[in-house]
Amino acid sequence: MATPFATAIQIAQSIRDGSTTASAVLEQHLARISEREGEIHAFNLVTTEQARATAQHIDKQAKAGNALGALAGVPVALKDNMCTRGIATTCSSKILEGWKPPYDATVVTRLQQAGAVMVGKTNLDEFAMGSSTENSAFGPTRNPLDTSRVPGGSSGGSAAAVAAGFAAASLGSDTGGSIRQPASLCGLVGVKPTYGLVSRQGIVAFASSLDQVGPFTHTVADAALLMEVIGGHDPLDSTSLPQPLPSLTAVLDQGVKGMRIGRLVGMPEGCEPEVLARLEAAFAALQQAGATIVDITLPSLEFGITAYYLIAPAEASSNLARYDGVRYGLRVDSPDLNSMYGATRAAGFGAEVKRRIMLGTYALSAGYFDAYYGKALKVRRLISDDFATAYSSCDVILTPTSPTVAFPIGEKADDPLTMYLCDVFTIPTNLAGHCAMSVPFGTGAHNMPVGVQVLAPALGEQAMFRVAAQLERAS
């Protein structure tokens, strides 16, 4: 699919061959930021001076004839729940006011080693809890393709930054669809890797058994390159898989001849007709390219959202207990310790975060643990088993990424249950720990982008990227 902006691969190549400089590329992106950031609000912080210093360093390396990294001079934006040494990391929450991490997240270090230039920290739903980036303490992010609409969430700022041309690529985190859904709504490629394939070290935790980091890009090839840079074993993360990332850029031209593509029978309700039409067109394109379409069922899919909204809030209530006003962030002075805890959390957390902490604490409480959290874990197992059965007869599965195109800002803000249904197709992958990605495939209602989701089993990234590359060629 043609993109209006230079891709990460094109930028790095042009800097390596001397046809441009990292500083010139950066200034182009900063000019776009200064032109449109006021209306879009993709960033919580634009790191202009640090970015210029990095770009100048890369230019010196290039001038000296030194070898440059795979992402040399490529402007990249980071979701503001990724630790950046000495640079504010807020998670779009007032409770982390003034906190500057003393270390970088592993993915940030790997980007730096590859020569990427960080242009800023992007807005998100507070602590990554939301599907529209309207739950930020610093105000909503708007979709660059139509600023009356949401960019998706929770990584809406990261998606908007790439869609608006503020950065050539960005990183988001995906707990229940927070990379794939905004990628779909903003017309981008978004990848949620197999759990453990990309390090979580230095990512501020929401739900530790579900969170994964992945890229937003304009092209499948850029996404493959970003994955190769950030992926692979990290000894600092106990959940990191002890193996290297398989090559993804090497498989992009292999096509889909002979592959089996799963088509879900019994699709959940609520999909816009145009979204289903684009999905059918995707199946037709893959079939024409030599793939076989196989009907599959996922009987427990309908319970995915219910299980997720018990497991994720339970883990969040445990993870967010550390924000108490004692060691870092906001502190509201009170007469005694317990009232200080209460006052700090009341002032520091937003409504959606409070809602999920209360839900999770209730699900974990004595007398309810087995009935709610324990049962949700059993449903999680059922979903994994259903996927295993499905993948015995197909290599990948195709679904819509989001049941709808980007919706107007404010339309679902007062109805959490309707908002939660945005993630009906994305959540099951997180529960199973598998990989999935969203690929733009035409437009739907209001001429807004539609994303097709390619799902694959754990460590099935190569098959997933082969199919994604074929869809990109067809679109």
Active-site positions? 79, 154, 178
Nearest CA to 180 among 418, 429, 467, 417?
429
Task: Provide φ and ψ at 55, rounded to 5°.
Answer: -60, -40
3-state secondary structure of 350: coil
Amino acid identity at 233: H
Q: Report how many helices (DSSP H) and strands (DSSP E) the chain contains, helices first.
A: 15, 11
3-state secondary structure of 170: strand
Give dist(CA 279, CA 197) in Å, integer.
Answer: 28
Give dist(CA 82, CA 44) in Å, integer.
Answer: 13
Question: In the block, which residue shows the tokens 């550390």?
Answer: 322
Give dist(CA 183, CA 174) in Å, integer.
Answer: 11
Instruction: Note whether 131 and 423 are within 8 A (CB).
Output: yes
Give dist(CA 447, CA 347) in Å, integer.
Answer: 40
Give dist(CA 220, CA 367) in Å, integer.
Answer: 48
For residue 371, the 8-state DSSP code is: I
For residue 82, the 8-state DSSP code is: B
Instruction: Note whether 207 and 319 are within 8 A (CB).
Output: yes
Here the contacts of 104-108 (C-beta below 8 Å, separation 24 or greater) are: 104/202, 105/199, 105/201, 105/202, 105/203, 106/199, 106/201, 106/202, 106/234, 106/236, 106/237, 107/82, 107/171, 107/198, 107/199, 107/202, 107/203, 107/213, 107/230, 108/78, 108/82, 108/83, 108/84, 108/202
Who's near 343: CB < 8 A, 6+ residues apart? Answer: 325, 332, 334
Other beta carbons less than 10 A from residue 2's beta carbon: 6
Q: Which two tokens stand for residue 222?
A: 């850029």
